[in-house]
Amino acid sequence: MQTFRKVVGVVILLYVALLVGLLVVMRQPVLFGKVMSKAPKPLLMVVPFKHLWLIARAGHLSVGDVAPDFSLPAADKKTRVRLSAFRRHKPVVLVFGSYT
How far is 98 from 92, CA to CA, in rounded Å?
18
- Over residues 46-55, the pLDDT tens digits come to 999 889 988 8
Residue span of the structural domain in which 27 resides: 2-59+66-85
How far is 56 from 35, CA to CA, in rounded Å?
15
Query: Kind and range of the H or E element at 94?
Result: none
Q: Is the pLDDT of residue 8 over 90?
A: yes
How far is 54 from 59, CA to CA, in rounded Å?
9
Is 92 contained in some domain?
no
Q: Is the pLDDT of residue 65 over 90?
A: no
Average pLDDT, the chain: 88
How far is 5 from 11, CA to CA, in rounded Å?
10
Is 96 contained in some domain?
no
17 in Cβ contact with 42 (< 8 Å) = no
Is 91 contained in some domain?
no
Whole-model pTM: value is 0.59
Q: Is the pLDDT of residue 25 over 70?
A: yes
Is 12 contained in some domain?
yes
